[in-house]
Amino acid sequence: MSPLLSVRNLRVSFPTRSGTFDAVRGVSFDLGRERLGVVGESGSGKSMTGRAILGLVRPPGRVTADRMELDGQPILNLPERQMRALRGARISMVMQDPKFSLNPVMTIGRQITEGYRLHTRTTPQAARDKALEMLRAVQIRDPERVFDAYPHEVSGGMGQRIMIAMMLAPDPEILIADEPTSALDVSVRNEVLRIMDKLVRDRGMGLIFISHDLNLVAEFCDRVLIMYAGRVVEELPAHDLKNARHPYTQGLLNSLPRLDHPVERLSVLQRQDSWRDEEIATPFPGGL
């Protein structure tokens, strides 16, 4: 089966006063109809990878890649017009904090229908029906009321579910979720994840789940990429996380305090310079 999204040797660089800063340095992966987790610490380039796919890297940032294809069709550095047609309709993105990604002076219903109508050109009535259906799909009990509400009138967890509803309304093939639950409390987090999981599975979409939380990603995703300093240092099936081979992955896992395993001092990750550039052990599936 050919992958939905295929990326080879993706690089994102920013010119700075003291030379070029490479935020992403040669990331390659294929995404099928699966849940792919991208894990790393701040500055590892995980968010920048997601933004690069959507063409959201702002100048003077430069994006290059040997290949970046959606269904076999190149999407690297498309003109803004074509990229806009692609964003939302075929690839969507859910950001970290719904407070900043929802427009505070527009009703929720209008925000959902606007994006949907832009991509599908249906009647207002059809768009409204679709929006209500999506709100129901993300388990909002009173969709009619929420449809006419403003973003400040809903809680954070509901805001994030609304974002998911909005992003999934045009039936995209790929959803990129950048830390979608980091701003949420644990009890709400699990609910949002469950909804996202169900929708993605029912629709047979590809999901790129970007997070700093290794354990969460391991539970939620099928496959995990671990990023360090702009590169993928290890790729693992999610259930195999405990058997991670790369010292960075192991270090990350060990540095977490655990309820079931009390220790006097936590083990501290010793970073090694060699991680930046050494050959990556995981063979690449599908070849280059």
Contact status, residue 163 vs residue 112, Cβ threshold 8 Å: no
Considering the complex, what minimum distance in angstroms separates the CB of residue 102 from another protein?
Answer: 18
Bond preceding residue 60 cis, omega within 30 of 0 = yes
Considering the complex, what minimum distance in angstroms separates the CB of residue 29 from another protein?
Answer: 22
Phi-psi region of 61 (alpha: psi -120 to 50; beta: other; left: phi over 0): beta
Q: Is the dihedral of CA 15, 20, 24, 27 positive or negative?
A: positive
Considering the complex, what minimum distance in angstroms separates the CB of residue 259 from another protein?
Answer: 5
Considering the complex, what minimum distance in angstroms separates the CB of residue 255 from another protein?
Answer: 4
Closer residue to another protein (CB): 93 or 252: 252
Q: Read off the tokens for 226.
A: 């671990």
Considering the complex, what minimum distance in angstroms separates the CB of residue 22 from another protein?
Answer: 18
d(C-alpha 85, C-alpha 279), whole Å? 38
CA 11 to chain centre: 18
Closer residue to another protein (CB): 64 or 190: 190
Contact status, residue 261 vs residue 238, Cβ threshold 8 Å: no
Closer residue to another protein (CB): 65 or 218: 218
Give the CA angle between residues 145, 148, 153 to the nearest 5°: 80
Give 5-43 as a DSSP string.
Answer: EEEEEEEEEEEETTEEEEEEEEEEEEE-SSEEEEE--TT
Closer residue to another protein (CB): 63 or 214: 214
Q: Read off the tokens for 1.
A: 């089966």
Give the CA angle between residues 280, 215, 281 to the nearest 5°: 10
- Residue tagged 């505070």 (tokens): 104
Cβ-in-10-Å burial (0-12, 13-18, 19+) of 206 comes to buried
Considering the complex, what minimum distance in angstroms separates the CB of residue 90 from another protein?
Answer: 26
Considering the complex, what minimum distance in angstroms separates the CB of residue 156 from another protein?
Answer: 8
Closer residue to another protein (CB): 191 or 235: 191
d(C-alpha 79, C-alpha 158), whole Å? 34
Closer residue to another protein (CB): 262 or 287: 262
Closer residue to another protein (CB): 39 or 127: 39
Considering the complex, what minimum distance in angstroms separates the CB of residue 242 from another protein?
Answer: 13
SS3 29: strand
d(C-alpha 15, C-alpha 212), whole Å? 26
- Footprint of another protein (CB under 8 A): 17-18, 41-42, 58, 156, 185-187, 189-190, 193-194, 197-198, 212, 214-216, 219-220, 239, 251-252, 255-260, 262-269
Closer residue to another protein (CB): 239 or 276: 239
